[in-house]
């Protein structure tokens, strides 16, 4: 972490952070003040579902490419209208796509935008930067940060700004859904198959993490936020409040998994309390990832961070200004 004395002072030029994920493309527009406080100016999401456009040959469809590039063009106009410095990162879906070069070229030619395809370790580092900024009271704690996206899961152990261990597993909510739960309904055998696969894929991460130790397990990303809101709604609580720094108990996570798994059809799942229609198809997949990690790490709860990759991009970009 850069010493505070070297940090740039004053809010300066706005920063537009764009995150091209497996489920959605997000824009966060913000100013960073001299003390590191981030002032969010605007947040926009487009449920582009890039991972769902990948065919059996891992090619993004023309329709998916058109939509993603169109979204970047729209976000670029917003950034330019605010004279914002742009930082754009693409994660698992673009990493997996064999025609990613086509997308990157179209982003340059049509949207006038340089897109960085970041590897899992760099994604985890930026998530950690975002979590630190969003939950400053945990600055001295040994944190396990887990970001469950659509196409991958990133795990990082850090303390005081220093990364101690990092791991990226190509398993996320969309991957689990497409591999095991594609038809929308969830018979017991499909659920058992998904759980066995996740136990095997994620179990190897648990040993080193438990050996190094951590104080707080922090969950980030859209999946855990939607799961927490469902847990509140199922308990009869208004799910619309601020989740940052709140807890999702493993017992509540289990209740949400049961509710999602018991739905006999996609239409029935949409009627569940607190469900997000944009995530209804893949949310059970993300829940099963958190369930598997909870068991492997003997957790009782997850702390939720609504700050993750995009805030990490913003803070990281702001810090870079001091050395240029």
Per the structure, the complete domain to which residue 60 belongs is given by 4-120
CB-based contact 293:227 (threshold 8 Å): no
My answer on whether 287 and 215 are in the same domain is yes
pLDDT above 70 for 167: yes
My answer on whether 17 and 141 are in the same domain is no
Residue 318 belongs to a domain: no
The domain total for the chain is: 2
Residue 67 belongs to a domain: yes
> Could you give the percent of the chain with pLDDT greater than 70?
96
Segment among 5-14, 114-123, 148-157, 175-184 with least mean pLDDT: 5-14
My answer on whether 147 and 270 are in the same domain is yes
My answer on whether 106 and 218 are in the same domain is no
Evaluate if pTM is beyond 0.95: no
My answer on whether 21 and 99 are in the same domain is yes
Q: Report the CATH number that the domain containing residue 221 is assigned in CATH.
A: 3.30.420.150
Residue 322 belongs to a domain: no
pLDDT bin (cut points 50, 70, 90) of residue 12 is: confident
Residue 160 belongs to a domain: yes
| pLDDT tens, position by position, 246-280 | 999 999 999 999 999 999 888 899 999 999 998 99
My answer on whether 100 and 182 are in the same domain is no
CB-based contact 23:150 (threshold 8 Å): yes
| pLDDT tens, position by position, 280-312 | 999 999 999 999 999 999 999 999 999 999 999
Residue 323 belongs to a domain: no
My answer on whether 144 and 290 are in the same domain is yes
Q: Report the CATH number that the domain containing residue 113 is assigned in CATH.
A: 3.30.420.40
Q: How far is CA 301 from CA 2, 145, 308, in A?
A: 32, 13, 19
User: Helices 283-296 and 173-180 sit at what angle, rounded to 10 degrees?
Assistant: 100
Largest CA distance in the chain: 58
| pLDDT tens, position by position, 218-252 | 999 999 999 999 999 999 999 999 999 999 999 99
pLDDT at 184 (0 to 100): 66
My answer on whether 102 and 206 are in the same domain is no
Residue 126 belongs to a domain: no
Pairing of strands 301-305, 216-220: parallel
User: Any alpha helices (H) in 213-308, and if so which ranges?
Assistant: 222-234, 250-262, 266-270, 283-296
Sign of CA dihedral 51, 120, 19, 107: negative
| pLDDT tens, position by position, 120-137 | 999 999 999 999 999 999
Residue 320 belongs to a domain: no
Residue 311 belongs to a domain: no
My answer on whether 91 and 224 are in the same domain is no
> Could you give the percent of the chain with pLDDT greater than 90?
86
My answer on whether 162 and 100 are in the same domain is no
My answer on whether 82 and 151 are in the same domain is no
Identify the domain boundary among 89, 120, 151: 120
> Rounded to 5 degrees, what are φ and ψ at 159?
-155, 130
My answer on whether 83 and 174 are in the same domain is no
Identify the domain boundary among 59, 91, 120: 120
């Amino acid at each position: 972490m850069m010493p505070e004395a070297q940090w740039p002072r004053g809010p300066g030029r706005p920063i537009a952070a764009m995150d091209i994920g497996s489920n959605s493309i997000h824009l966060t527009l913000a100013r960073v003040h001299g003390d590191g406080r981030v002032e969010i100016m605007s947040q926009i999401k487009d449920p582009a579902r890039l991972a769902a456009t990948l065919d059996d040959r891992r090619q993004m469809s023309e329709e998916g490419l058109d939509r993603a590039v169109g979204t970047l063009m729209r976000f670029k106009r917003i950034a330019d209208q605010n004279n914002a410095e742009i930082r754009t990162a693409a994660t698992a879906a673009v990493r997996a796509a064999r025609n990613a070069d086509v997308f990157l070229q179209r982003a340059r030619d049509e949207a006038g935008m340089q897109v960085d395809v970041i590897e899992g370790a760099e994604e985890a580092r930026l998530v950690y930067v975002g979590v630190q900024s969003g939950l400053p009271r945990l600055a001295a704690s040994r944190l396990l940060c887990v970001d469950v996206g659509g196409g991958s899961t990133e795990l990082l152990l850090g303390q005081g700004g220093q990364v101690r261990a990092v791991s990226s597993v190509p398993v996320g909510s969309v991957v689990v859904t497409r591999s095991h739960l594609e038809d929308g309904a969830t018979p017991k055998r499909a659920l058992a198959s998904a759980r066995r696969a996740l136990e095997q894929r994620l179990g190897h991460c648990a040993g080193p993490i438990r050996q190094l130790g951590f104080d707080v397990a922090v969950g980030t990303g859209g999946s855990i936020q939607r799961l927490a809101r469902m847990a509140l709604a199922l308990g009869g609580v208004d799910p619309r409040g601020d989740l940052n720094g709140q807890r999702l108990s493993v017992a509540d996570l289990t209740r949400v998994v049961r509710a999602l798994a018991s739905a006999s059809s996609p239409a029935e799942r949409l009627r569940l309390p607190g469900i997000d229609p944009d995530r209804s198809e893949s949310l059970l997949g993300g829940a099963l990832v958190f369930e598997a990690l909870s068991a492997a790490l003997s957790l009782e709860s997850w702390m939720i961070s609504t700050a993750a990759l995009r805030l990490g991009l913003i803070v990281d970009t702001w810090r870079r200004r001091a050395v240029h």
